Structure 1
Amino acid sequence: MSFVFLRKPGRPYPVAARAEGVWIWDTEGRRYLDGCSSACVVGIGHGVREVEEAALAQRRAVSFVHGATFLTEACERFAARVAGLASDPHLDKVYLVSTGTEAVETAVKLARQYWQEVGEPRRHKVISRWGSYHGNTVGALAYGGHAGRRRPYDPLIPHTPHIEPCYCYRCPYGLQPDRCGLVCAEALDRAVRFEGPETVAAFLAEPVVGATLGAAVPPPGYWPRIREICDAHGILLIADEVLTGAGRTGRGLALEHWGVSADLVTLAKGLASGYAPVGAVLAHAKIHDAIRDGSGAFVHGFTYNQHPVAMAVGDRVLRYLEEHRLIDRAARMGTVLLERLRTLSDLPVVGDVRGIGLLAGIEFVADRDTREPFPAQAGFAWRVGEEARKRGLLTYPGTGCTDGLRGDHVLICPPFVIDEDEISFLVDRLREAVEAAGNPADERGS
């Protein structure tokens, strides 16, 4: 009997025994290629000895002190490296937490307190997008826009304003990127005006939507226009880079692909590559200084802020990224991965293959011409994921990309150390998995 409260009670889980590079072995001796970096987390690969040694050294020195009482050298080093991910020199203050959800909650509170400090206390609303994911606490779910995740907790979730997503494959306005006029960006301007600019604190969004839309990459003008709208109304831009940051898309921060800088940036996942639970908020100096020179205290905190061992781990992970030029490698291998994944477009259930860097998504459809999704109850993405697992490949299945309930995709986001032979293995096993999953539409007709 297991005493573990599993996310899916009753489902059998293999027991992980060891991991190295892009591979994980279970206690039965089976080997799996980690094609999803264990939920888009492991950037530098599994089993890096230097990170383990850094953690051990910090444990021997100072295993824990509370962040409200002490700083540590590891914390100072790590914060400097996190700030170094941004090219904007004004993003120079780092608030350190343990998870992406904590980072999002922190960023929203920073935005709110900033406006109080500068004498605009009516600004409290945070506009976000449908089809988004920002974490699983009640607060983060309120800003997220995924119906399947929100629906069980609807009575608990406060209302927050949302706009349509930037999702070119299923454009909510039925337009094409080359002649759409960026109406999905203009929706922010309308929403701010409708809510009243004097009440809006920030706009929160993922540069590339990962878990909920399957690596939905925006058209070139989207983010520059969003930045213009935020500036025109004087609101803060919060970039949720929990999944995309720390090199996943081939840049330190994904938003920099479009030459745009945010006022607040949330980070986690690849920040410590899974070797410790680490998250952070990169904050513009004006936000930090307004609090420092105003009330003098940010009214917020967690027990494990700036955890010394986590800080040492994060510092060593980011140093490892630099030493081995792994962000450049993510860009280079991402081109190879996307090119190989596009060979799957001959499969009748593959509707779209998209991505940037080592973040790729494959969306499945019942009809390629109409882009009709499979029924939610078919669970097609999970079928593909299970068939892939049987063949020694781990993927990141997702559902609800069409309307929050229907729509199937898998994310492919392997560690940055993957090589071309391993990419070939990944694509071959994925092809076999999609074929083995069949077509639920055909099953209904039989």
Structure 2
Amino acid sequence: MVLIKLDPQAEMKGTDGAQAVSSSAVLHRHLSEDFLVLSKSEGNYLILEDGRRVFDASGGAAVSCIGYRNKRVADAAYRQILDAPYCSTVFYTTKVQEELCRFLVDSTGGQMARAYIVNSGKFFQAGSEAMEAAIKLARQYFIEVKPSQPQRTRFISRRQSYHGITLGALAMGGHMYRREKFEPLLMKNVSQVSPCNESRFKAPTKTNEEYVAELAQELDEEFRKVGPETVCAFVAEPIVGAAQGCVPSVPGYFKAMKAVCDKYGALLIFDEVMCGMGRSGTLHAWQQEGVVPDIQTIGKALGGGYQPIAGLLANHKVIDGIAKGSSVFVHGHTYQGHPACCAAALEVQRIIQEESLVANVASMGRLLSQGLKRRIGNHPNVADIRGRGLFWGIEFVSDKKSSTPFPEEVHVAMVISKLGLDPKYGINVYPGAGSADGRLGDHIIISPAFNIRKEDVEWIVETVGRLVDDYFATLQV
């Protein structure tokens, strides 16, 4: 059994006939499902109330980056809570916020000018608040530097993307399932172009250069269709996470996209909430692309799960534009720059730096990718294994030759992930859907902590291999 009952006698029929659980006061993701109770976590393991030890091979939602129960981080947060647990940023700053932002700016080699820290505590979208801030900062930039262009209110993003669950961030993304119930509420000033997904959408006869040229032409046409003078920014994930399962772009793609943005005077916004802060093998994912964004959002691995924290970085052009204009960013949150969150994140980043963990991400990532491809690359239901660093996705299909996805109602990725929690496997992987067309297409993400060792990689590869083999051996569609 994968799921446990909090109170087997507490079930009752809901008004629509579905099973509803009344034992919990929590508004869970699924009201008719009981959730496993996490008792504690240590190292790379989640320890459940029933005694099970589960290896967290996905770091939750690609969040955990130094493992759990790190006393240095806990002590740093505790000391800050005792010193000053909260800071009203209308009047004050704190030394720890200044130090964290200085670290982040310096980590870009002088490419970025300022950092802005928010404290989203939502599991699925550590960067929703950061993306909302990025949207507003891009808009305000044009009001400040281009007062003759108040019509710059539009954004262009990509289909099969995900930028957060709040209404502004949700409008920016192209995740169909998460959008559909809220479409009437979403901004109408966002349009979308094709994603860059070599496995799914690049014709076998095309070279990478031809594929990039095709996508650049599509973006150029979208600018001209909506009016180039109306567009604030093009928004994209350097490596698409939840919506596609760790899909990187082909070489030269982002240089071409930036050239189109520059042609029409628009900004380039990178969403690195899931793929950044070391996850893909460099501290910032854009450092592998040869392109510097104007605005960059960060999250998950920033604080490693020890505190809810995310943020954005803005380059000199954007900051100088605001500074020479009103000098006021018209945005703010009660808990922005939260001192305890900043203290935890700063300590996490110091540990990553001191222990050379980004280099370990790159080396262990090579072993992980090679191992996964060797173990299940030829499996008839594995369409693709892709990613960078310690951020790898496995896409599943019903027919490998045609890359036909499974029917939506089979829930392949979710069932595989739940099966992994069985003591026979004891592994946590991250499920996702929509990698084929925004709705169909199952994938799981493997994104373990940055400090894993060779023996951990070998165990992950073999366990994921057994999990995939066993699931498909019994699947009947």
TM-score of Structure 1 vs Structure 2, range by shorter chain: over 0.9
Deviation at 1:22, TM superposition (A): 1.4
Indicate the RMSD between aligned Cα atoms, in angstroms.
Answer: 1.5
Q: Does 1:29 align with 2:51?
A: yes
Map of 2:435 onto structure 1: 401
1:433 aligned counterpart, secondary structure: helix
Query: Residues 98 and 329 of structure 1: is their aligned pair in 2 closer, same or farther, counting only changes over 3 Å?
Result: same
Task: Name the aligned partner's letter for residue 427 of structure 1.
Answer: V
User: Residues 272-287 of structure 1: matches in 2 within 5 Å?
Assistant: 272-287=303-318
Map of 1:93 onto structure 2: 114
Deviation at 1:292, TM superposition (A): 2.4
C-alpha distance in 2 between matches for 1:6 and 1:209: 26
Q: Does 1:117 align with 2:144?
A: yes
C-alpha distance in 1 between matches for 2:161 and 2:192: 10
User: Residues 162-181 of structure 1: matches in 2 within 5 Å?
Assistant: 162-171=192-201, 176-178=206-208, 180-181=210-211
Query: Residues 108 and 175 of structure 1: is their aligned pair in 2 closer, same or farther, counting only changes over 3 Å?
Result: farther
C-alpha distance in 1 between matches for 2:386 and 2:265: 33
Map of 2:456 onto structure 1: 422
Conserved? CA contact 1:85–1:246, under 8 Å: no
Deviations 1:261-312 (CA, angstroms, capped at 9, x unpaired)? 0000000100011111111110112222222221231111111111111111
Map of 1:349 onto structure 2: 381
Map of 2:4 onto structure 1: none
Deviation at 1:233, TM superposition (A): 1.3
Conserved? CA contact 1:168–1:177, under 8 Å: no
Task: Name the aligned partner's letter for residue 6 of structure 1.
Answer: H
1:161 aligned counterpart, secondary structure: strand
Q: Does 1:360 align with 2:382?
A: no
Give TM-score scaled by structure 2 length.
Answer: 0.90
Equivalent of 1:60 in 49, 59, 82: 82
Unpaired runs of 5+ in structure 2? Answer: 1-22, 121-126
Map of 1:218 onto structure 2: 249
C-alpha distance in 1 between matches for 2:53 and 2:299: 27
Equivalent of 2:173 in 131, 135, 144: 144
Task: Name the aligned partner's letter for residue 142 of structure 1.
Answer: A
Task: Name the aligned partner's letter for residue 171 of structure 2.
Answer: A
Deviation at 1:169, TM superposition (A): 1.0
C-alpha distance in 1 between matches for 2:38 and 2:434: 29
C-alpha distance in 1 between matches for 2:118 and 2:28: 25
Deviation at 1:186, TM superposition (A): 2.6
Equivalent of 1:227 in 258, 261, 282: 258
Map of 1:268 onto structure 2: 299
Deviation at 1:12, TM superposition (A): 2.3
Unpaired runs of 5+ in structure 1? Answer: none
Deviations 1:338-390 (CA, angstroms, capped at 9, x unpaired)? 01111211321111111100000000010010000101111111111111111
User: Which segment is superposed worse, 184-193 or 400-409?
Assistant: 184-193
Deviations 1:209-233 (CA, angstroms, capped at 9, x unpaired)? 0111011111111011112111111
Deviations 1:169-197 (CA, angstroms, capped at 9, x unpaired)? 11176764536341123321111121111
Conserved? CA contact 1:349–1:439, under 8 Å: no
Conserved? CA contact 2:38–2:46, under 8 Å: yes
Conserved? CA contact 1:168–1:176, under 8 Å: no
User: Residues 71-90 of structure 1: matches in 2 within 5 Å?
Assistant: 71-87=93-109, 89-90=110-111
Q: Does 1:19 align with 2:52?
A: no
Q: Does 1:384 align with 2:416?
A: yes
Map of 2:71 onto structure 1: 49
Map of 1:154 onto structure 2: 183
C-alpha distance in 1 between matches for 2:469 and 2:170: 35
Percent of aligned pairs sharing the same letter:
36
2:377 aligned counterpart, secondary structure: helix
Equivalent of 2:472 in 404, 427, 438: 438
Query: Residues 44 and 307 of structure 1: is their aligned pair in 2 closer, same or farther, counting only changes over 3 Å?
Result: same
Map of 1:196 onto structure 2: 227
Conserved? CA contact 2:170–2:186, under 8 Å: yes
Deviations 1:147-173 (CA, angstroms, capped at 9, x unpaired)? 111111112122211001001111176
Task: Name the aligned partner's letter for residue 38 of structure 2.
Answer: A
